[in-house]
Amino acid sequence: MNANGQIYCYGPLLHTVQMAKLFPDSKTFVDMKLKASPETTLEDFDAFMASKNNTPTRDEIREFVDAHFGEKGTELDVWTPTDWVERPGFLDLVHDPDLRQWGMDLNNIWRELGRKMKEDVQKNPQYYSIIPVPNPVIVPGGRFIEFYYWDSYWIIRGLLHSEMTNTARGMIENFLNMVQRIGFIPNGGRVYYWGRSQPPLLTAMVKSYVDFTKDDLFAINALDVLEHEFEYFINNHTVQAKGHNLVAYRDSSSGPRPESYSEDVETSESFDTEAAKEDHYSELKSAAESGMDFSSRWYINEDGTNVGNLTNAKTRSIVPVELNAILYWNAKMIAEFHSKAGNVEKMTEYETKAQKIKEAIQAVLWNEEAGCWLDYDLINDKPRNYYVSSNLSPLWVKAYNISDSEKISASVLKYIENNKLDTFPGGVPNTLYQTGEQWDFPNVWAPMQYILVEGLDNLGTPEAKELSQRWGQRWVKSNFEAYRETLAMFEKYDAEKFGGHGGGGEYGVQTGFGWTNGVIIEWLAKYGRQISLSGNTGGAAPSSRIISLLGVTAVALVGALAGRFIW
């Protein structure tokens, strides 16, 4: 990390400014550019604090910030991807004209979400919190104006379906470059995310790229870096459960999350000692590493249940199903790339690693009684029998014995029925517990919807495939309804309302939105021949043909003007 760590990541300046709550969103301050070098800024800050007896007023802090920081986001230019095409081939697979038009609108949105760093970022990185990367990126949107690690998997798949292979490869190369430079991929493209990663999907991005382009050499050349990332996760995240090695989410930094500083300080107030507060911060940042920040999924209260609030977060003591499943998958894909390169020894080494992870998943996380995989509570040494969408993630990456498919299918479908997961018009919720946190009921998120639907499809039994298709098509139709009404693609949606967007958590619902668009484009390509909007559940079919007008959808605009906008 360069000298600006003491400004953007920790220290008295960060504390003073963030606790003054100058901005409605805490992320704003840590995204602002420095006007002078970090050294000068820190000297000025010391002098400023001394001159104010260490107790400046809020207005004085604001003046200090105005004098020393520029606007957020000025380090990035909006970038039109050079490989963008007006009519990617996936549109020809979509038979319904309104859905096809929507596909065109989504393809247009890539141009709004493209970002390129100004040259000065490479020359003077210490002035910025953004992490310099060589190639332009597609960002999620809204307040998220930098890359996010796991979001990029679905963005890249959407780009590949949109024939933007150069942009996709550039983003993957950025990640490879980051592993080489930093040793791992941070949560997002800002220095303040330095202590944590996100679900490790780099190897899967490479696999997606190779599947689309048939460029095996790309994967073979990336092998050293992919192995490095795999080992980083194993070396820094391993925990023991029932005599097996598994992995759990972790963070290696200290202090509150810089981008949500005052929020974390406030929840830490119920802890008495500095050590307990520090532990609390680590639990929150580890939850952020999971990408599911926040959720009752990470709560363990004194009774050993998930009832509680953020002060009950015990992320580091929960063995998460999907992280272990993804690492299994990574080992399998690395073995496959080694096999393509003819490295038999290395292939066998990674097949063996994969086999061990699969055995651990089966022994610790599969739960015969529940009929599904469950997270494991290391404090109370017991499975956590609460529905979370990630419980079904081994289906997505086939982290089970394929010969058991029939039995697993019967169990998992029963689990789905018992939890009434097929009853929600707006998609399958992330959990069934409503806490007000954004990764809890009733919110539905595109990546998890994808993992569920693709997982059931992979399982391969007719019943699982039928459900997969129904859920996939329901999701497309519900997202379309939301778009038709609001002209927006959302970060999260509402399971209880067909076409309803999500909410809750510590910031307002964002639009844009990278992974949502990626999933829809992939599923328009997948279901486009069968899916039609007539009989659209819970929402009227569009009354008139959508006409694209300068990238704006006319019928939605009419809806918006008629007062149907929700903000």
Ligand X SMILES: OC[C@H]1O[C@H](O[C@H]2O[C@H](CO)[C@@H](O)[C@H](O)[C@H]2O)[C@H](O)[C@@H](O)[C@@H]1O
Place of tokens 């007006």: 86
CA distance 77 to 186: 22
Q: Considering beta carbons, is residue 26 or 473 the nearer one to ligand X?
A: 26
Is 291 near ligand X (CB under 6 A)? yes
| Stretch in the footprint of ligand X (CB under 6 A) among 142-150, 158-166, 205-213, 361-369 | 142-150
CA atoms within 13 A on the CB side of 433: 18
Q: Is 491 one of the annotated active-site residues of the chain?
A: yes
Task: Please give the backbone phi and psi of residue 191, each rounded to the nearest 5 degrees, phi first.
Answer: -60, -25
Query: Annotated catalytic residue: which of 293, 377, 454, 485?
Result: 293
Q: How far is the CB of 199 from ligand X (least distance, A)?
A: 9
Q: Which two tokens stand for residue 561?
A: 């003007």
Q: Which one of residues 38, 88, 125, 140 is an interface residue with ligand X (CB under 6 A)? A: 140
Q: How far is the CB of 311 from ligand X (least distance, A)?
A: 17
Q: Considering beta carbons, is residue 140 or 518 the nearer one to ligand X?
A: 140
Site for ligand X, residues 259 to 278, rule: CB under 6 A? 259-260
CA distance 167 to 505: 32
**Cβ(223)–Cβ(232) under 8 Å?**
no
Q: In what order do the strands lie in the sheet with 76-78?
A: 76-78, 114-117, 137-138
Q: Which one of residues 293, 375, 437, 457 is an interface residue with ligand X (CB under 6 A)? A: 293
Is 187 near ligand X (CB under 6 A)? yes
Cis peptide before 294 (omega within 30 of 0): yes
Where would I find the beta strands (DSSP E) of 160-248? 238-241, 244-247
Q: How far is the CB of 439 from ligand X (least distance, A)?
A: 7
Q: Considering beta carbons, is residue 283 or 293 the nearer one to ligand X?
A: 293
Q: How far is the CB of 48 from ligand X (least distance, A)?
A: 27
Rounded to 10 degrees, the C-alpha dihedral 559/560/564/565 comes to: 150
Is 411 near ligand X (CB under 6 A)? no
Q: Is 173 one of the annotated active-site residues of the chain?
A: no
Rg (CA), the chain: 23
The DSSP letter of residue 562 is I
Task: Please give the backbone phi and psi of residue 408, each rounded to the nearest 5 degrees, phi first.
Answer: -65, -40
CA distance 463 to 481: 27
Q: Considering beta carbons, is residue 293 or 377 the nearer one to ligand X?
A: 293
Q: How many residues bind ligand X (CB under 6 A)?
A: 14
Around Cβ 135, how many Cβ atoms within 10 Å? 15
Identify any residues that bridge with 553 across adjacent strands, giving them in sequence order: 548
Site for ligand X, residues 222 to 261, rule: CB under 6 A? 257, 259-260
| Stretch in the footprint of ligand X (CB under 6 A) among 41-49, 148-156, 232-240, 424-432 | 148-156
Q: Considering beta carbons, is residue 187 or 435 the nearer one to ligand X?
A: 187
| Stretch in the footprint of ligand X (CB under 6 A) among 38-46, 94-102, 145-153, 313-321 | 145-153
Q: In what order do the strands lie in the sheet with 382-383?
A: 318-319, 376-377, 382-383
Q: How far is the CB of 140 from ligand X (least distance, A)?
A: 4
> DSSP assignment of 538-558, as one string?
TSPPPSS---EETTEEHHHHH
* Amino acid letter, residue 331: A
Q: Which one of residues 8, 150, 415, 475 is an interface residue with ligand X (CB under 6 A)? A: 150
Q: Considering beta carbons, is residue 140 or 559 the nearer one to ligand X?
A: 140
Q: Considering beta carbons, is residue 259 or 457 the nearer one to ligand X?
A: 259
Q: How far is the CB of 287 from ligand X (least distance, A)?
A: 9
Q: Considering beta carbons, is residue 257 or 526 the nearer one to ligand X?
A: 257
Q: How far is the CB of 54 from ligand X (least distance, A)?
A: 29
| Stretch in the footprint of ligand X (CB under 6 A) among 58-66, 285-293, 312-320, 332-340 | 285-293
Query: Annotated catalytic residue: which of 227, 283, 437, 491?
Result: 491
Alpha helices in 429-531 (DSSP H): 446-459, 462-486, 514-527
From 511, 430, 505, 521, select the one nearest 472 (Cα to Cα): 521
Is 188 near ligand X (CB under 6 A)? yes
CA distance 383 to 83: 48
Is 144 near ligand X (CB under 6 A)? yes
Could you list the residues that contact ligand X (CB under 6 A)? Answer: 27, 140, 144, 148, 150-151, 187-188, 257, 259-260, 288, 291, 293
As annotated, the active-site residues are 293, 491
